[in-house]
Amino acid sequence: MNATAEPVLKPTSATGSFWSWLVALPCDGSFRFSVKFGIAGMLAVFVALLNKNHEPTWALFTVFVLMVAQYIGAVEEKSILRIIGTVIGGVAGYLLTAAFEQDPLIYFSLLGLLVAFATAMFGQARCPYAFLLCAMTAVVVCSNGIAEPENSWIFMIWRIQEVVVGIMSVLLVQSLLWPRYAADEFLIGLRDVFRDLRDYFSSIRSDVPGNEIACDERLNQLRQLLRFGGRESSYFRARMETYVELLASVRRIHDAIRPMAGLRWKNPLFLEYAGGRISELQQAIESQLTLLASPAAASGLQQEGLDEITAALEALKQAILKMRRDPRSKDMALEDILGIGLECLSLEEIHQELVRCRDLLEGLPLTKKNHKVPGLRQLMPGMPPSFWIKNGIRSAISLIAALVLMNWVQPPGGATMVLCAWLFCCLLPISPEGRGDLRAWHVVVAAIPCLLFLCLALLLAAPLLSSYAVMNIVIFTWLFVYGQVAYKTPGVTTAMNICMMGLIGILGLNAQEPVSFQSIADVFFGISTGTVIAALFQRTLWPLLPQREMRERFLELLRIQRTSLAAGGPTPEGLLRLGLLPGEIHLRLSNMARPVYPEAEIPSLRALLDHLDRFTANRIWESDPCEAGNASGLTQKIRDCLSGILEKIEISFSSGSPCSADVAPLRLAIAEFDDWILAVRLESMASHADPLATVGLLGRAARYQNAATHLMAAAETAAQLNPSLYSKDNAL
């Protein structure tokens, strides 16, 4: 039989075609999450209707906010906090409505204080979600019970019941259907970080620009997974300290790689003696990063790769020693000397961190350690930032305004209006788009036509919606699409909030009774009016604006850099913020109202951020190249000059005046530093000192040079900016 003969095609049955189509469905993470989202929502609605709950929308609302968490540990944490906040808020709302509804002044004052306090506490670190749910439940109970204060306890009971239904539905679906564990995804994400480092290291070797921000973003995601994973298993909690150390080591590897960008060797003497040794060392490091990016990273296979790196370092040492004996080495340019030192130092630091990663991965504890129980002071909630205090006050004012309008004018959809007025005013400023309150009126302009179109469609489809089957299809489809968006979005955007309220409004038109025109009008006017009230207070009372947020984050970055120079390094919290701030500033820059600012303003701000970030990457506060007997204090002089420039840029941003940093003293200090470097090198050559120790010293000196170069460029860029624009509401 001919081996190359074409196979005979057989006719396929209809059943076979169906299964082929089913298997071909895109069962990736987003598809599975969307299916889970739809099933959890339908299960919550089914149970709520089966129990004849009065407001099944609250069960579906619970599904929305819990499913976004995605991980078992996160869902568990939010479920516990949600039920605690719901019970406390429900009881508080009932007591206020039942006791003080007849006295509007006392009633609105106490309710406003409760909601303002709970909303503000949502901005601190201890159990924030419980405070948010306390405020939300109090708003729901009061807005629904204000017409019947003596029966407001019924709304409290209904709310608690349906929140429990939503929680149980989400926990059941998340636990049984494609569960996602933060602990497992942390390990996968850790391997992805090592793969990013390998690609970044490779891009520098091949002179191709790499993604410098991706590492910080991924590390931030891994820190979130650590928190959720710690709630999922004691096995993971036992390794928490080791994983934190691994993330710190990864960050140090990234910082060691970054200054190597742009180093290209053209010096023929160095290429003759050490060019091949550098390439071998880089290849060995790249192979080790590849190994760490594989599932076998925690095995003993790493030792062989580390031995190769050690051998390559020793070969490099011998090559540099031979080069130093060559008379031509005395004539090498200072730029080449510093470049060689910087690359060798970075490669040595990468090797040290790779050894540390190996030790951490192979030394993971097998049993849970005994940890001290945190004291009462550590368990108490902290003080919220000033923004959240202001946000709590204005959200409470927005709520009171909506309640007054509901009580006196009695517009359609009053309870929905009250909830939307508080919810949008509270949460829309912190949406992941980074726009703050800037486009609050844009939300109104976009939301009202969309809601109008939705309600017109509901009027036409009212006969169909009386069917449970049609209603279920509509709800499941909406949930599925929402899940697709939520899977890829870090947080809940403004559009997602509008869609969530729209779907909850549709569910309110459930098939237990015929859908009336008034019910549809309630959905439209309730959400629309609530959005208008929220936007009014968002844009007129302490608005959160991208330009102000950008300025505050620049000030924070400059402040951490300056204090790190004085204290010999940043605090752990400061080190974390140094990694996160560049991404946060980039997001705000992309949302600034461009027509308001000069054409070159935003690119200049990006350039300033890049120079400050590269200044941070040199980490000059961690080591002093003049430790060994330099009495002139050259590095201290450089540090003082650097600190002075940072302070001038900081003053410029805080006062709104042009930057007046003088870089001349820094240039003079660097010139003296260059002379010292040349003297140290000649002295080491004459004394036959350890070549790698000398190279390391020169590498640390090169980092001072790089840091000074980038900060001088930052000062020149800052002088071209107009900081007075960043404190104004120019787009109102």
Same domain, yes or no, for 348 and 462?
no
Confidence of residue 642 (pLDDT cuts 50, 70, 90): very high
Give a yes or no: residue 337 inside a domain: yes
pLDDT (tens digit, 9 = 90+) per residue, 551-595?
Answer: 999 999 999 999 998 888 888 788 878 877 888 888 888 877 666
Residues 318 and 459 in one domain: no
Q: 316 with 278: CB under 8 angstroms? A: yes
Categorize the per-residue pLDDT at 11 as very low, low, confident or very high, splitting at 50, 70 and 90: very low
In angstroms, how far is CA 274 from the centroid of its own chain? 42
Query: What is the model's pLDDT at position 21?
Result: 43
CA–CA dist 402, 410 (Å, integer): 10
Q: How far apart are the C-alpha atoms of 229 and 76, rounded to whole Å?
A: 11
Phi, then psi, of 526 in degrees rounded to 5: -65, -50
Cα–Cα distances in angstroms (integers) from residue 401 to residues 138, 266, 497, 536, in the given order: 16, 71, 21, 11
Report the candidate in 506, 698, 718 with the shortest Cα–Cα distance to residue 604: 718
666, part of any domain: yes
Kindly state the percentage of the chain with pLDDT values over 70.
82
What is the token pair recorded at 536? 């009014």
User: What is d(CA 117, CA 111) in angstroms, rounded to the nearest whole number?
Assistant: 10
Full residue range of the structural domain in which residue 107 is found: 26-180+385-540
Q: Kindly state whether residue 134 falls inside one of the protein's structural domains.
A: yes
Percent with pLDDT over 90 in the chain: 13
**Two tokens, residue 112:** 């406003």
Listed in sequence order, the residues at least 6 apart from 441 whose beta carbon sits closer than 8 Å to its beta carbon are 535, 539
3-state secondary structure of 651: helix
User: If you count DSSP H runs as helices and E runs as strands, how many of each does the chain have, helices first?
Assistant: 27, 0
Residue 664: give its domain's CATH number. 1.20.58
Q: Between 150 and 635, name the one with better pLDDT.
A: 635
- In this structure, is residue 79 part of a structural domain? yes
Q: Which residue has the higher pLDDT, 53 or 511?
A: 53
Counting beta carbons within 10 angstroms of the beta carbon of residue 577, is it exposed (0 to 12), middle (13 to 18) or buried (19 or more)? Answer: middle
Q: DSSP states of 369-402 as a string?
A: --PPPPPHHHHS--PPPHHHHHHHHHHHHHHHHH
Task: Kindly report which listed range (396-400, 512-516, 613-617, 674-678) carries the lowest average pLDDT score.
Answer: 512-516
Rounded Cα distance between 379 and 376, Å, is: 5
pLDDT category at 379 given cuts 50, 70, 90 is: very low
Confidence of residue 16 (pLDDT cuts 50, 70, 90): very low
556 domain residue, yes or no: yes
Lowest pLDDT segment from 489-503, 508-522, 642-656: 508-522
Query: How far is the C-alpha of 535 from the C-alpha of 525, rounded, in Å?
Result: 15
Q: Identify the residue whose tokens are 């889970």.
A: 36
> Do both 337 and 192 map to the same domain?
yes
Closest residue by Cα to residue 527 from 558, 549, 553, 506? 506
Q: How many residues does the chain have?
A: 732
In terms of domains, do 406 and 318 share one? no
Residue range 88-114: mean pLDDT, rounded = 89
What average pLDDT does the segment 210-230 reach? 69
Q: Is 64 found in the same domain as 187?
A: no
Do 511 and 552 belong to one domain?
A: no
Judge whether 351 and 285 are in contact, CB under 8 Å. Answer: yes
Q: Identify the H or E element spanning 290.
A: helix 268-292
* Residue 531 shares a structural domain with residue 575: no
Q: Do 578 and 687 reside in the same domain of the chain?
A: yes
**Per-residue model confidence (pLDDT) at position 605:** 92
Q: Are residues 351 and 424 in the same domain?
A: no
The answer to whether 522 and 416 are in contact (CB under 8 A) is yes
Overall domain count for the chain? 3
Instruction: Please write the tens of the pLDDT for every residue from 415-464.
Output: 889 988 998 898 888 887 778 888 888 888 888 888 888 778 777 776 77
Q: What is the mean pLDDT of the chain?
A: 79
| Top-ranked range on mean pLDDT: pick from 400-404, 457-461, 546-550 | 400-404
Residues 163 and 211 in one domain: no
Same domain (yes/no): 333, 256? yes
Yes or no: say if 397 and 121 are a contact pair by the CB < 8 Å rule.
no
Tell me what the mean pLDDT of segment 157-174 comes to: 88
In angstroms, the CA 645 to CA 65 distance is: 46
User: What is the distance between the alpha carbons of residues 625 and 699, in angstroms, rounded to a whole number?
Assistant: 9
Q: Encoding tokens for residue 550?
A: 């950008």
